[in-house]
Structure 1
């Protein structure tokens, strides 16, 4: 056992000069070597790096390709090194690699020798209005084949909250000229949301079928980092203060190669307790033990004093592997000074390790690739503050020629989320309304009052259900959120605990919450569940109280208890809609894209923070989940507004749904019956 005597605790890592150091493959240029993608490929077949002769620009804000590499026989174009200002965006995005193949291309070369290559372009919200595409890469040319499998990979940055449409054009090289063989487009969401991250679509040219193209997306790991996650408490600590209490905190040290100690982590102190329970924390494994799980590290417990002269309670040593194997669940905290003075001395308390596990820095895409699906729900505010629906000023006013603000919000968010659920089944319900002839105010009633079923298929199914409720309910109140969040939390708690499902609740409202304290309490309770809550404010109220729920700067609290995670995101729709003027279709599409980008921005981080808190790792791609068969779901739409993909309805019959083999295995929850008898609360 190493002595707990410390020397120069703030000293940086000073490894022994003879100790082997980690080796990184050498590259041609230092600037390129610092590129995160190069670092991700380092040690995995990186062969060479060279300047790119053909410098191509990506879409605005994405940078310039500044290098080209060859990795495992494949060629990549690389974006430049990311600056410190972009680190937050980097954490919420991912570098993906596209692999492209085509089958059954049609012969377009009169000489019979088809030499195909593929050009890939992207169009995002800022480019859609001009119907503009920007090239992000192209494959090599293959000779004399109608079934090409290109080796060149296309690199791009994936953003969950954005609609990134890709265009794939296949050309035949004919001497100094070229002839297009076919074209197809698809959303990046469609690719990464598919099983095995693979999407196949038909190629067309001049309205004629020209074969198929298959695109596979793979995330590039940018040097995953491993941490050790601790849930720790202590019992029966020595009394240190004048009043017989203690203000304990922990300091964790790494043993350096030269015998010195380096501080790896310090907890907050607990006031006036001999039995503290510290908040869960994590320590980077290199900071803890140089990545060696059999290397001892030191834990010291102190009594905090405001003069900085903290008193040592006791210390212990252990290793990561001993903790992982359960050998050191409880360890005595020993004060050597006290032990040397008394033979009867045993210890100064005990430290308890309730949960210890290693955690890789997994990303949102890791879980999506492993089969995690989003369980998406929508809750609509039908309170009186929306104004009578027969008035044009009502936020619920129906106009067959244009969408109201509720429809815009529904379509914007659901259009992205639908790609992350294989069945494309959403739950939709309303709150704060009377349902004639019943005179009571109801919460969590299914929007589709014709079927009394809260489940809807796709974006069109959601919008159809909304219009059914819009035509039949009577606006009432008050604007209580607590019942809706409580019900969503109950649904989230019923999801499998294996990471296969994660709930996203979208609440669309027009006014001030009337039960703010009860709402805060429900959010704090729900912060331990697989749930994210998105609140979109429509209309022109200030929504000051709503902003309290979006705890970006500090954790939400209620009755002295703090939320375990930040699970709420609030956005006002009016930020994206120009006031007092009609919107063109292009304006509307841009507004929807910008709204979706903001409201969904925090979901990837919220999902991964939940998985980390529960120690859930992503599954291997394609691993099946045990689920039960689903049931037919209505999915017709009176106007077809908001559904970007009519094929998602899986058939022309409004009342039937032909499931794919994968979606038919999904379990649909049973809804309980509410006070209206046959109507089911969703």
Structure 2
């Protein structure tokens, strides 16, 4: 039975994660752990929410990456945490733990410690802290430098310092940011960075946060704390204090940290751009390649035998979730990888891209019901043929997005497809090249495959040096999911993708 909940009771929380006493899987150093988070409601398909950064050579990591969740009191929201050791050959499973959102919030200070298990054997502790999250438009931008940092390396070297910033939440220090380390420097100057007031001090300028200076050892093994200090935004900006003594645990001074180039920043959010007049252009591509199976057979994902096959269900639900992003409910529909035999668009060869309406100049329909009706109408008129090749479709999307770059129009692109993409490498490269364009690409996986290669696109984008904007997301389609939950999971990355597009252009609201 589908669970229900009252929308007025929704509360957004942020999860801070750490682990202690993880097993070491390396011979000559320490494991490099990262965490993957999975979410599910009772009776529904599990959803991958993302992964943390890799903690280098660290068996007691405090991960900086956090996760935002909507707490729904009437639902059983299950969280499954998997931890892996990242190495050159891939990854190795370290253990997992499981709890519910409600169990975390019922603990004192919303802090829970979970036993990590690897095949029923103890494998350390997972620490999870929940904090109610309120969106903030206010950030600080600053640069930190060190003066006469204590040398922790004796006569054979100098301290390799880096900084960690911590939020204080209900008696717990939660790591929120880490700078780069600077090798052999007692007077370092770290790169300028930004942090939101929500993450730093829960939007309370009188609330203390902590800065910790750490000496990095080779590959992060046996790092040592040089010293730390606590302060507030009010002290820094109102009282104009910019120099702080690093204090060691024994109370001795370990040098000075100075704050440079400090300034407050207001960042427009998703709602601000909507109010400014941002419009959306919605394009849906449907995979008709042979890997889906021949429609005349019952095991095909496009089967004609069933009145409502998996693609039709996905198109119905996804279109319903998307249509309200366009005031006219216009949805452009394209086929990818097949031979269309329409009365107004007839081809005797494999096509990497074709309009389902048959009209190149008018590929749009109005609303989800017309989208589903068009899919049903066209399915007998399409010859399934060849592999799924996305390159031409993506080139077309990027051309549309580039055309709209001078206008206040943002393109939402969804691909409904199975797992096997023949030109995946070329598609990945094109995605990397198009990060500055006003569009988002959402790949909706249809079927029960693992979609491992497609999920890894996010890792590829996030590993770029220097960092680039990530406008790609993946969602594996689940039947019978409540529409509000479907929309939440499907479009969870869109607000940030829109905001980061405008931020990279330095646009002002």
Q: Given the two structures, how large is their TM-score scaled by the length of structure 1? A: 0.40
- Correspondences of 1:519-530 after superposition (within 5 Å): 519-520=427-428
How far, CA to CA, are the matches of 2:373 and 2:326 in structure 1?
Answer: 19
Offset at residue 385 of structure 1 (A): 1.7
The corresponding residue for 1:542 is 449
The corresponding residue for 1:425 is 330
What's the Cα RMSD here?
A: 5.7
- Correspondences of 1:201-240 after superposition (within 5 Å): 226=136, 228-230=138-140
Greater CA deviation, 420-429 or 477-486? 477-486
- Correspondences of 1:441-480 after superposition (within 5 Å): 441-463=350-372, 466=375, 470=379, 473-480=382-389
The corresponding residue for 1:281 is 195
Note if contact 1:555-1:565 (Cα within 8 Å) is conserved in structure 2.
no
How far, CA to CA, are the matches of 2:353 and 2:148 in structure 1?
Answer: 53
The corresponding residue for 2:496 is 609
Note if contact 2:295-2:304 (Cα within 8 Å) is conserved in structure 1.
yes
Offset at residue 513 of structure 1 (A): 3.0
User: For 1:375, which of 278, 281, 284 is the aligned residue?
Assistant: 281
User: For 1:508, which of 406, 416, 420 is the aligned residue?
Assistant: 416
SS of match in other structure, 1:422: coil
User: For 1:267, which of 143, 156, 177 is the aligned residue?
Assistant: 177
Which 5+ residue runs of structure 2 have no aligned equivalent? 16-69, 73-131, 248-255, 504-508
Note if contact 1:569-1:602 (Cα within 8 Å) is conserved in structure 2.
no
How far, CA to CA, are the matches of 1:404 and 1:501 in structure 2?
Answer: 33
The corresponding residue for 2:290 is 384
Change (3 A) 1:245 1:299: closer
- Correspondences of 1:50-129 after superposition (within 5 Å): 61-62=4-5, 87-88=11-12
- Correspondences of 1:392-407 after superposition (within 5 Å): 394-398=300-304, 402-407=307-312
Q: Deviations over 1:647-667 (max 9, x none)?
A: xxxxxxxxxxxxxxxxxxxxx
Change (3 A) 1:243 1:317: farther
Change (3 A) 1:266 1:386: closer
Note if contact 1:249-1:301 (Cα within 8 Å) is conserved in structure 2.
yes
Offset at residue 422 of structure 1 (A): 1.1
Change (3 A) 1:307 1:522: same
Q: Given the two structures, how large is their TM-score scaled by the length of structure 2? A: 0.51
The corresponding residue for 1:134 is none
In terms of Rg, which structure is larger? 1
Higher strand share: 2
How far, CA to CA, are the matches of 2:292 and 2:232 in structure 1?
Answer: 62
Offset at residue 454 of structure 1 (A): 2.8
Greater CA deviation, 505-514 or 460-469? 460-469
Note if contact 2:134-2:198 (Cα within 8 Å) is conserved in structure 1.
no
SS of match in other structure, 1:462: helix
Note if contact 1:269-1:304 (Cα within 8 Å) is conserved in structure 2.
no
Note if contact 1:492-1:502 (Cα within 8 Å) is conserved in structure 2.
yes
Change (3 A) 1:246 1:507: same
Aligned length: 362
How far, CA to CA, are the matches of 2:133 and 2:292 in structure 1?
Answer: 50
Note if contact 1:248-1:303 (Cα within 8 Å) is conserved in structure 2.
yes
Note if contact 1:383-1:478 (Cα within 8 Å) is conserved in structure 2.
yes
Offset at residue 381 of structure 1 (A): 0.7
Change (3 A) 1:559 1:417: closer
SS of match in other structure, 2:285: strand
Offset at residue 429 of structure 1 (A): 1.7
Offset at residue 372 of structure 1 (A): 5.1
